[in-house]
Amino acid sequence: MSKIIVLDKLISNKIAAGEVVERPASVIKELVENSIDAQSTAIAIEIVDGGITYMRVADNGVGMDEDDAKTAFLRHATSKLKSEEDLYAIASLGFRGEALASIAAVSKVSLKTHTDSAEYGTAVSISGGIMESVLPCGCPTGTTIEVKDLFYNVPARLKFLKAARTEASYIIDYVARMILARPDISFKLTSNGKVIYHSRGDSNLKNAIYSVHGAEFMPHLKEVSYNDGAISITGYVGTEHISRSTRQHQSVFVNGRYIRSALISQAVSEAYDTRIMAGRFPFFVLSVKIDYSEVDVNVHPNKMEVRFRDEHRVSAAVTEAAKHALGASQVPLYFVEQPSTPETKFIADESETEAPQDIEAANISEDTQQKLKSIHEFIYGKAEPSPIIPESNTAEVFLSDSVEKAEENDLPPVFFSPKMQESKYEPVQLSFGIEPFDVLGCAFNSFWFFTQNDTVFIVDQHAAHERMLYEGLMKGTLASDTQLLLVPLVVTLTAHEYRLYSENADIFKELGFVIEEFGTMTVRITAVPNVFDKAQDESFFRDALEALAKSSSLTMKSAKRDAIISASCKSAVKSGSPLPKEFIESLLEEYKTNETPLTCPHGRPVMVAITKKSLYKMFKRIV
């Protein structure tokens, strides 16, 4: 008897569904793509419990007649491919003919559809892949599909779904991308009865970006317009002011299809050159138009990955397009029309933010000296806390790199010439004893020189202060509590940020935040951590979100540690900021007596040392 059998159709359909239907967001994606291919100008999406129990997609497209409505649920049934040649020049979003069959195999589906030419519509009901009824019905032109109880007959798949709020965030993120991809289509998304998005469909990409990302990004957009005859690129890139630590604010569409492309992301980043710090990623919304035969979208069933015939040409075109946009002058923003629905957001005439004022470094005012003294007294418990001196916005360049940038990127600045670094007399990081020391002076308002016994030490003032602040808070000698806000902070999050917050609400509570839900993807912060006698603001909250985005396995302990490191770095005195000699002397006394590690929390050296013997050898006084 043969051991090899042909699987039952229902079993094979369930297996095939695993490639197409990963979670509720996969269902929404497939149904919305069908609606777009059906020439819809308005698409309404409704979900309940993150789509796990209920999803509905309704459009005003061309609809289907009765025969097509029944055939649509057969595997590999499609109206978008007629011959093998069509497979090499796919113009539609859907084409594989697997989506409806896969969805119907693992859920309960009902469809209502109507064409303009038909006298009445058609209603189809399918459960677990079995067609239960096909009946005439009354309905408007277009197609409405309801999906209930996803994975009800595949419990092994059901248990791998995340919480309803998390699953909803995946759908919200996808719909946001489609609003950006097709600003000519009106999208309305409702979750548990609340309207999340309702775009106008007025073909204005700026309006679409504003409705998804909010006002913060609008003054920093640069328009992209590129066409070399073979590749057309349009959209917007953001200035370095709205760069982020993840790629979540990057959207790219190829021939109207939302895709994920490391190639295009890297190509855009190259256009920024040195504008953006290491570890930061630019904001962009780009639409790439290319001949259909030059791109292969049949790479994976989810159709999120594509291959270009000439990757180098595409990459070069994207880089050139972004470079040209970044070099162009800022375009004023004007939205002359007012929204017709309360759910849609618009702005008018956003202006550039005022340029920051540099802090003088030539002389230290009495007020500055008092603030610095207060810092010192606060750290070592000799007086009541006072505000920390504000961080300077001046970025001075020291030797081969900017120390300011080095601090923000957690990279060691270059203290000595390459020739000296290659020398066997290169300064090394050493500990120093309890003997008296003599502070000689400061270079560049950043590095302090002092001697002890037969050794010259060079101290990085920012790293030294940062380490002391970190140690104080970790050991509990510095105050860290929660401070109520007179005026609560209302923060609007992206779908990705909202998911991160929702899944890690306990971490934010532990850090000292008091946060409550406040509308759609919006939270209200009523209390914030009070670190180093400084109430942490919205940026501290977003820093914590970015830390969560970088590490999927972040624990409560590590999240708190990362937050303290961030606060320590921001609160420490900066390189380039003049300090009184007494401040450094007191700081060094603490390092002597407390055996504090001689690295900052990021691992950079607090001080380096050159022995007397090494100096003598450098100057050939001894051999």
Q: Look at residue 431 in the predicted model and tell me its pLDDT.
A: 56
Least confidently predicted of 286-300, 349-363, 441-455, 600-614:
349-363
Say how far apart CA 476 and CA 49 lie, in whole Å: 42
Band of pLDDT at residue 181, cut at 50, 70 and 90: very high
Say how far apart CA 482 and CA 468 lie, in whole Å: 22
Q: What is the mean pLDDT of residues 271-294?
A: 86
Q: Look at residue 398 in the predicted model and tell me its pLDDT.
A: 27
Do residues 126 and 104 touch, judged by C-beta distance below 8 A?
A: yes
Q: Strand 54-59 and strand 514-517: pairing?
A: unpaired
Q: Considering the domain 9-198 in this protein, what is its CATH number? A: 3.30.565.10
Q: Look at residue 349 in the predicted model and tell me its pLDDT.
A: 34
pLDDT digits (tens, 9 = 90+) for 565-598: 777 787 788 888 888 998 898 888 888 777 677 8
> Of the segments 117-121, 368-372, 465-469, 553-557, which one has the largest average pLDDT value?
117-121
pLDDT over 60 (residue 335):
no
Neighbours of 406 (CB within 10 A): 22
**Residue whose structure tokens are 């991160």:** 500
Say how far apart CA 598 and CA 575 lie, in whole Å: 17
pTM: 0.60
Q: Look at residue 404 in the predicted model and tell me its pLDDT.
A: 42
Q: Look at residue 4 in the predicted model and tell me its pLDDT.
A: 64
pLDDT over 60 (residue 603):
yes
Q: Look at residue 480 in the predicted model and tell me its pLDDT.
A: 52
Phi-psi domain of 63 (left: phi exceeds 0; alpha: psi -120 through 50; beta: other): left
Q: Look at residue 206 in the predicted model and tell me its pLDDT.
A: 93
Q: Name which residue leads in pLDDT, 232 or 538.
A: 232
CA angle 574–400–283, rounded 5-degree value:
70
**Both tokens assigned to 434:** 């309890």
159 CB-contact burial (10 Å; exposed 0-12 / middle 13-18 / buried 19+): exposed
Q: Look at residue 329 in the predicted model and tell me its pLDDT.
A: 37
> Of the segments 92-101, 288-297, 324-333, 385-394, which one has the largest average pLDDT value?
288-297
Do residues 107 and 145 touch, judged by C-beta distance below 8 A?
A: no
498 three-state secondary structure: helix
Helices (H) and strands (E) in the chain, counts: 19, 25
pLDDT over 70 (residue 492):
yes
Query: Could you tell me the strand order of the sheet in which 221-227 lies?
Result: 221-227, 231-238, 284-290, 250-254, 257-259
Q: What is the mean pLDDT of residues 280-290?
A: 93
Band of pLDDT at residue 476, cut at 50, 70 and 90: low
Q: Look at residue 485 in the predicted model and tell me its pLDDT.
A: 83
pLDDT digits (tens, 9 = 90+) for 494-551: 777 887 788 778 878 877 788 998 877 789 999 887 655 555 667 778 777 776 666 5
Q: What is the mean pLDDT of residues 469-477?
A: 70
In sequence order, what are the residues at sequence separation of 6 or more whose Cβ sits closer than 8 angstroms to the Cβ of residue 369? 580
Say how far apart CA 615 and CA 619 lie, in whole Å: 6
Q: Look at residue 314 in the predicted model and tell me its pLDDT.
A: 94
Band of pLDDT at residue 461, cut at 50, 70 and 90: very high
Say how far apart CA 223 and CA 221 lie, in whole Å: 6
Do residues 446 and 398 touch, judged by C-beta distance below 8 A?
A: yes
Do residues 306 and 293 touch, judged by C-beta distance below 8 A?
A: no
Do residues 43 and 174 touch, judged by C-beta distance below 8 A?
A: no
Same fold, 9-198 and 205-327: no
Q: Name which residue leads in pLDDT, 613 or 353.
A: 613
Q: Look at residue 129 in the predicted model and tell me its pLDDT.
A: 85
Q: Name which residue leads in pLDDT, 84 or 317.
A: 317
Q: Name which residue leads in pLDDT, 442 or 406.
A: 442
Q: How many CA atoms lie within 13 A of 381 on its CB side?
A: 7
Q: How far apart are the first and last CA of the chain?
A: 90
Say how far apart CA 288 and CA 228 lie, in whole Å: 12
Q: What is the mean pLDDT of residues 178-207?
A: 92
pLDDT over 60 (residue 429):
no
Do residues 364 and 580 touch, judged by C-beta distance below 8 A?
A: yes
Least confidently predicted of 179-193, 199-213, 268-282:
268-282
Phi-psi domain of 324 (left: phi exceeds 0; alpha: psi -120 through 50; beta: other): alpha
Q: What is the mean pLDDT of residues 14-24?
A: 68
pLDDT digits (tens, 9 = 90+) for 36-57: 988 999 999 999 999 999 999 9
**Both tokens assigned to 63:** 């609809």
DSSP structure class, residue 72: T
* DSSP line for 369-424: HHHHHHHHHHHTTSS---PPPPPP----EETTEEHHHHHHTT-PPP-S-HHHHHST
Q: Look at residue 78 in the predicted model and tell me its pLDDT.
A: 57
pLDDT over 80 (residue 360):
no
Average pLDDT for the chain: 75
Band of pLDDT at residue 240, cut at 50, 70 and 90: confident
Cα distances from 219 to residues 328, 329, 332, in angstroms, run 14, 12, 8
Question: What does the domain layout of the chain look like in residue ranges?
Answer: 9-198, 205-327, 362-623
Least confidently predicted of 126-130, 402-406, 492-496:
402-406
Domain 205-327 has CATH 3.30.230.10: yes
272 three-state secondary structure: helix
Tell which residue, 412, 451, 470, has the closest CA to residue 585. Answer: 451
Band of pLDDT at residue 215, cut at 50, 70 and 90: confident
Least confidently predicted of 38-42, 132-136, 350-354:
350-354
Q: Name which residue leads in pLDDT, 6 or 375.
A: 6
Do residues 456 and 618 touch, judged by C-beta distance below 8 A?
A: no
pLDDT digits (tens, 9 = 90+) for 82-123: 444 544 445 555 445 577 888 988 999 999 999 998 899 999
Q: Name which residue leads in pLDDT, 404 or 64.
A: 64
Domain 362-623 has CATH 3.30.1540.20: yes
Tell which residue, 391, 395, 420, has the closest CA to residue 406. Answer: 395
Query: Could you tell me the strand order of the sheet in which 438-443 lies?
Result: 438-443, 447-452, 455-460, 607-611
Q: Look at residue 391 in the predicted model and tell me its pLDDT.
A: 35
Band of pLDDT at residue 321, cut at 50, 70 and 90: very high
